[in-house]
Amino acid sequence: MTAPTGNPHSDPAARRAHLNREARLRQLPDIDRDLVRLGQMPDLDRWLDQIRATGGCAAPVYLAGHSTTIDAGSGDVLRHYSTVDEPGSRLAVRCRNRRATRCGPCSREHSGDTFHLVRAGLAGGKGVPASVRTHPRLFATLTAPSFGPVHRAGPCHRARRGTCPHGHRHGCGLDHPQDDARIGQPLCPHCYDYVGHVLWNSAAPTLWKAFRDNLYHHLAARAGVGRTAIRKLVRVSAAKVAEYQKRGAIHFHAVIRLDGPDGPHTPPPAWATTDLLLDTVRTAAAAVALTPPESAAYGDVRLRFGAQLDAHELSDGDGSRITDEFVAAYVAKYTSKSVETAGAVDRRINSLTDIRALRVTPHVRALIATAWRLGGLPELAHLRLRAWAHMLGYRGHCLTKTRAYSTTYGELRTARAEHARTLASTRELFTDWDTETAVESVWRYVGQGHSPAQQLIAVGIAEDIATNREIARNSAVGGSHPVHSTLESVR
Ligand SMILES: [Zn+2]
Ligand SMILES: [Zn+2]
Ligand SMILES: [Zn+2]
């Protein structure tokens, strides 16, 4: 007779118990079955610690490997961490997706980093001197021009009379509530310039660059110096976020600051005032005019910014809405959103069949199809419009900044890792920047994502963290955060 080993492969009693348990599990709905399995995981507590450390990330990346911190002088091993002792010999780390539709917790962390990054550039901190508050600073919004009338919130094109050649009325006359699905949709899709719209989105990063170059050129003209000399007198530092309007056109919100020639630590020359910067921003944007690559698909096209340019001086909070805090929160908010704001999709398109199957408005479908069609033309191949069709042609980054503006995401993460190091050994994963120590790490990707039960638990952890943060914030400021409550009002 075989001695009971507890191993279902060799011990009949253990095997019967195992089969009974499996049979009972099969009678449960999928999610419950998965939860019971998870509950039986031998090192469940450690797995929960890992998920807590990711903030309840919705799609954690699992890594296997090790990290050894060595004293560079003596060669002594100061710390050693390996995933061998972790559940499944692997470690969960954040997916770091900035989009709220992909991962709520990571997008919130990214928004927080963006807030600190933008705020440091405005008010100082994180290595930026507080004296930047005295430099000329603006918050500007640069939009796309019109590609044809679209329905808009509130009274919609009341004054326009007559019809277009396709029989659509030029005016709409309705009063659209803020959440009306028609807002951003063209009055006549046949009259709408889809080609111009997609080309503009595609050129948006180049338009922004041309605007920044113009800023220097126009500053040079005002100072009466040459284009090379101006860069020895003044530095334009900026951070900008790209956002989709309801109609699917990109626009930019930018923080623009004038520094001395060596960046934030040097004051700008006395002639470089806020008023001068306001004027220069206007003329520099108006002067941008780019020609897209020549193509038989369209005639003469000039790409420009829209006439509607919004620029405000930033205040230190003396009753004005446009404060440092406000702007930092406003910009941070948009980094967690993307093309979804325009009702488009956040994944790549692979074929025309894909486009037909999308659950989007006819307007978004027309924009994606236009990008796809233009992307097939050899003369436009370098624009890679098919790869960026789901982004309605825009292939730029959500947030960009000039080098001297403020800190970086990487530095913020390193600072957070340094802080967290004492709290959890798993944070060893981050590189140690101390000059006296060396870190030797080997990491391998072993998978990503949660099972349904794991997902449920991660969501619970993320909600707990969000609730705790909310409680901490409310008790700290004695009410809801004033910056967030005014976010919508400036739009
Ligand atoms: Zn995540
Ligand atoms: Zn309308
Ligand atoms: Zn028409």
First to last CA, the chain: 80
The pLDDT of residue 426: 36
256-277: b or e for each residue (b if 16 or more CB lie within 10 Å)?
bbbbbeebbebebeeebeeebb
Residue 171 CA to ligand 1 center (angstroms) comes to 45
104 burial (CB, 10 Å; 0-12 / 13-18 / 19+) is: buried
**Is residue 128 within 8 Å of 251, Cβ to Cβ?**
no
Q: Residue 422, exposed/middle/buried by CB under 10 A (0-12, 13-18, 19+)?
A: exposed
CA of residue 173 to ligand 3 center, whole Å: 17
Long-range Cβ contact pairs of 292-299 (< 8 A, separation 24 or more): 292/199, 292/202, 292/203, 293/379, 293/380, 293/382, 293/383, 294/379, 295/374, 295/377, 295/379, 295/380, 296/379, 297/195, 297/373, 297/374, 297/377, 297/380, 298/195, 298/196, 298/199
Separation of 103 CA from ligand 1 center, angstroms? 5
User: Which pLDDT score is estimated for 13?
Assistant: 77
> Where are the domains positioned within the chain?
129-147+193-405
Residue 31 has what pLDDT? 74
Place of tokens 């409680």: 471
How far away, in angstroms, is 7 Cα from ligand 3 center?
Answer: 75
Cα 324 from Cα 119, distance rounded (Å)? 6
What is the pLDDT, as a whole number, of residue 337?
67
Write out residues in the chain with pLDDT < 50, as ranges: 1-2, 421-435, 478-491
Residue with tokens 């910014």: 305
Rounded Cα–Cα distance for residues 29 and 337 (Å): 35
For 185-271, where are the E strands, in sequence order? 235-244, 250-259
Over residues 3-61, the pLDDT tens digits come to: 555 565 667 777 777 677 667 666 666 777 778 788 888 888 888 988 888 889 998 88
CB 139 within 8 A of CB 254: yes
Render pLDDT for 438-475 as a digit per residue (tens, 0 to 9).
Answer: 677 777 888 888 888 888 888 888 888 888 877 777 66
**What type of residue sits at position 182?**
R
Ligand 1 centroid – CA 108 distance (Å): 9
- The pTM of this model reads 0.71
Around ion ligand 1, residues with a beta carbon closer than 5 Å are 57, 94-95, 103, 106
Q: How far apart are CA 323 and CA 197, in angstroms?
A: 33
Starting from the CA of residue 165, give the closest ligand.
3
Considering only CA atoms, which of 178, 125, 129 is closest in space to residue 156? 178
Tell how far the Cα of 169 is from the centroid of ligand 3, in angstroms. Answer: 8
What confidence score (pLDDT) does residue 91 get? Answer: 86
Distance, C-alpha 246 to centroid of its chain:
17
Q: Which ligand is nearest to the CA of 191?
A: 3
